[in-house]
Amino acid sequence: MTLAPERTSLSVQVRLGEDWLTICDLARLTPGRGVAALLPDGRQVALFLDRAGRLYGIDNRDPFGGAAVLSRGLTGTQEGRPFVSSPLLKQRFDLVSGQCLDDETVRLETYEVRAA
């Protein structure tokens, strides 16, 4: 397959201010699942890849339970919008806006992510 070498040569980057921080090879991400990344300032980002190859980044910490585990949640789409469901108490978060879909008052920080 010709796709494979192309995929591995790309890396996942997160935008921090003006700069893009390289996290890992794109091949480390499984479509439909997340990974956690550590930022230089100690924040944690949950990175996701969907079936169509789009990347998303949100804060890794579950605001309800307090543990940093959102990268381990199940993802899906609802009305075309991608979300992750927390593995702790199952609240869902929109991957684009960070909005909690089960509690209007909660919204997570989001990060710009790209494959380069």
Partner 1 sequence: MSTTAFVGDRPRPTIVLVGHGMVGQRFLEALAERGLTATHRVVVLGEEPRPAYDRVQLTSYFSGRTPEDLSVTDMEFIAAHGIELHMGDPVETIDRGARKVTARSGLTVGYDVLVLATGSYPFVPPVPRRDAEGCFVYRTIEDLLAIEEYAKSRATTGAVVGGGLLGLEAAGALKGLGLDTHIVEFAPRLMPVQVDEGGGAALLRTIEDMGLSVHTGVGTQEIVTGEDGSVTGMKLSDGSELATDMVVFSAGVRPRDQLARDAGLAVGERGGITVDEQCRTVSDPHVFAIGECALAADGRVYGLVAPGYEQAETAAATIAADEASFTGADLSTKLKLLGVDVASFGDAHGTTEDCLDVVYSDARSGLYKKLVIGRDGTLLGGILVGDAEAYGTLRAFTGSVPPIAPESLVLPAGSGGSAQLGPSALPDEAIICSCHNVSKGTIRAAVTDHSCTTVPEVKKCTKAGTGCGSCVKVLGQLVTAELEASGVEVDKGLCGCFAQTREELYEIVLALRINTYQDLLDRHGRDGARGGDGCEICKPTIASIIASLAPTIGASGYVLDGEQAALQDSNDHFLANLQKNGSYSVVPRIPGGEITPEGLIVIGEIARDFGLYTKITGAQRIDMLGARVEQLPLIWARLVDAGFESGHAYGKALRTVKSCVGQTWCRYGVQDSVRMAIELELRYRGLRSPHKLKSAVSGCARECAEAQSKDFGVIATSNGWNLYVGGNGGATPRHGDLLAQDLSDAELIRLIDRFLMFYMRTADRLERTSTWLERIPGGLDHVREVVVEDSLGIGEELESLMADHVTNYRDEWAATLDDPEKLARFVSFVNAPDTPDPVVGFVSERDQIKPDLPLLSIGTRPLEGSAQR
Torsions phi, psi for 7 (to 5 deg)? -60, -45
Are 47 and 55 spatial neighbours (Cβ–Cβ below 8 Å)?
yes
CB of 95 to partner 1, least distance (A): 10
Rank residues 9 and 78 by Cβ distance to partner 1 and give the closer one: 78
Distance separating the N- and C-terminal Cα atoms of the chain: 20
40's tokens: 């230089």
Rank residues 92 and 111 by Cβ distance to partner 1 and give the closer one: 92
Short-list 28, 63, 23, CA closest to 39: 23
Binding residues for partner 1, rule: CB under 8 A, are 23-24, 28, 30-33, 35-38, 42, 44, 47, 50-51, 61-69, 72-80, 82, 85, 87-92, 102, 104-107
CB of 14 to partner 1, least distance (A): 9
CB of 73 to partner 1, least distance (A): 6
Rank residues 7 and 33 by Cβ distance to partner 1 and give the closer one: 33
List Cα–Cα distances, 57 to 6, 67, 110, in angstroms: 22, 17, 6
